[in-house]
Amino acid sequence: MKQMHITETVLRDAQQSLIATRMPFEDFEAVLDEMDQAGYHSIECWGGATFDSCLRYLNEDPWERLRKIKAHMKNTKLQMLLRGQNLLGYHHYSDDTVRRFVRKSVENGMDIIRIFDALNDMRNIQVAVDECRKAGGHAQGCICYTISPIHNLEMFVSLGMQIEEMGCHSLCIKDMAGIMSPKECFDLVTALRENIQLPIYVHTHATTGLGYMTYLKAAEAGAAGIDCATSCFSGGTSQPATESVVYALSQLGYHCGVDAQKLNRINNFFLPVKDKFSENGMFDPYVLSTKTDALIYQIPGGMLSNLVAQLKAQNAIDRLEEVLDETPRVRAELGYPPLVTPLSQMVGVQATVNVLLGERYKSIGKEIKSYIRGEYGKAPGTIDAGLAQSVLGDEKPMTGRYAETLPAEYEEAKAHLGDRARCEEDVLSYIAFPQQAEQFFARRERTFTASYSFKEVG
Ligand code: CO
């Protein structure tokens, strides 16, 4: 019988895509035992924006959340998303920090670490992959899926071979914008399977409406697994629905390993959770509508809404068409970076500035300059010579790994925190999100003092 692994994303990507990652632990604690029994291959529950959100909005220690989830998981693997050398933040960290963070993630209960680099520069995932393996975790290397004149099957297969060579246990095709069509998916999974041995997992979003069809073709091409979200947290910018995908695939002879009754109970559990977020305004039904713009402009839906918001803020929404024409030009001149965080924002802002100032590259963003200097890694294609010259002058772009130029952050951070850090995990939280972590530690200290003095009085 054909197998299909199901990864449930409600605790990470689905809630990140629909309710800005605002689900506190207490909202889902009571369903964890049931989820552990459902038969998922894995539960994606950590990494991505969850770490930042725990510290910034939910007053939760992200490491403690991980340990508490793990305590319920006797049968099911936990999975997280990691931005390679960026970890869970937006800039590169030293190798020492990356290794400590990955090791602590595994020690606190993480099983599968899905690791990607926004530019598909595999040097930027190598350290995290290596440490994950050494710590006993399952390292899943990602190809960020994008469409451009230089991103073809040959390039993707070559990336897949690099992922295999560096010792990853599996490979994920990460289609963050939901723009991979059923045919493209079938061809890509097939080409990868012809050239590498690793199991192939496919990750997409329902944003453009292609997701369900894409998963069907992924199955036909022999993908090992797909990512789905329990139905009330599925669709739109989230993943296709777990129950529906499993229903369809089961009839076609795929064994998904999950129990339909249990999936139903899990969804029933999350229904009132979702209602709560509808009532408090965090869940906006707009994110559920199918948006096909991304298929025309070849830019992710989230990026398009950012462009619209930027232009509205500048009172220049009438320039949208020009910005949409300029965006692919800027992207081409930058060597076709995949439009994923942070490159999607960088390209969008530069295109907007180019249009609004009436002269291209009159002002060049700080991050774009760092990118051209090579500090984000190697561009997939060639950066426009004139643009490179205007930024670099006589300077040579970096050819090695940027992280090698970065000093280790750990000892200094530890000394800075002093007693406020209770463990290595605290120091790592601080390195990842300094301001949010310090505020979290201060709140934690106050709570502790308050309960302590209460005991003395009582
Ligand atoms: Co995603």
Measure CA 442 to chain center. Answer: 29
Q: What distance in angstroms lies between residue 135's CA and the mean position of ligand 1's atoms?
A: 25
Q: What distance in angstroms lies between residue 175's CA and the mean position of ligand 1's atoms?
A: 7
Q: What distance in angstroms lies between residue 28's CA and the mean position of ligand 1's atoms?
A: 20
For residue 82, the surrounding DSSP H or E stretch is strand 77-82
Q: What does the pLDDT read at residue 450?
A: 54
A 10 A CB-CB count for 108 gives 18
**Where do the H-state alpha helices sit in 73-122?**
95-107
Q: What distance in angstroms lies between residue 130's CA and the mean position of ligand 1's atoms?
A: 23
d(CA 15, CA 272): 14
With 0-12 / 13-18 / 19 or more C-beta atoms within 10 angstroms meaning exposed / middle / buried, residue 357 is exposed
Do 217 and 200 touch, CB atoms closer than 8 A?
no
Sign of the torsion formed by the C-alpha atoms of 51, 241, 170 and 33: positive
Q: What distance in angstroms lies between residue 271's CA and the mean position of ligand 1's atoms?
A: 21
Q: What distance in angstroms lies between residue 363's CA and the mean position of ligand 1's atoms?
A: 32
The closest alpha carbon to 429, from 56, 11, 140, 26, belongs to 56
A 10 A CB-CB count for 330 gives 24
Q: What is the pLDDT along the chain (458 residues), one digit of tens a residue?
A: 799 999 999 999 999 999 999 999 999 999 999 999 999 999 999 999 999 999 999 999 999 999 999 999 999 999 999 999 999 988 899 999 999 999 999 999 999 999 999 999 999 999 999 999 999 999 999 999 999 999 999 999 999 999 999 999 999 999 999 999 999 999 999 999 999 999 999 999 999 999 999 999 999 999 999 999 999 999 999 999 999 999 999 999 999 999 999 999 999 999 999 999 999 999 988 889 898 988 887 777 778 878 888 899 999 999 999 999 999 999 999 999 999 888 988 999 999 999 999 999 999 999 999 999 999 999 999 999 999 999 999 898 898 999 999 999 999 999 999 999 999 999 999 999 999 999 999 999 887 655 544 444 44
Sign of the torsion formed by the C-alpha atoms of 279, 282, 286 and 287: negative
Q: What distance in angstroms lies between residue 176's CA and the mean position of ligand 1's atoms?
A: 5
Average pLDDT, the chain: 94
Q: What distance in angstroms lies between residue 287's CA and the mean position of ligand 1's atoms?
A: 14
Q: What distance in angstroms lies between residue 297's CA and the mean position of ligand 1's atoms?
A: 19
Q: What does the pLDDT read at residue 449?
A: 58
Q: What distance in angstroms lies between residue 9's CA and the mean position of ligand 1's atoms?
A: 9
Q: What does the pLDDT read at residue 448?
A: 64
d(CA 33, CA 215): 28
Q: What distance in angstroms lies between residue 65's CA and the mean position of ligand 1's atoms?
A: 21
Q: What distance in angstroms lies between residue 227's CA and the mean position of ligand 1's atoms?
A: 9
Q: What does the pLDDT read at residue 16?
A: 92
d(CA 205, CA 182): 13
Token pair 């439009």 is at which residue? 339
Q: What distance in angstroms lies between residue 423's CA and the mean position of ligand 1's atoms?
A: 31
For residue 68, the surrounding DSSP H or E stretch is helix 62-72
Q: What distance in angstroms lies between residue 85's CA and the mean position of ligand 1's atoms?
A: 18
Do 124 and 117 touch, CB atoms closer than 8 A?
yes
Q: What distance in angstroms lies between residue 353's CA and the mean position of ligand 1's atoms?
A: 28
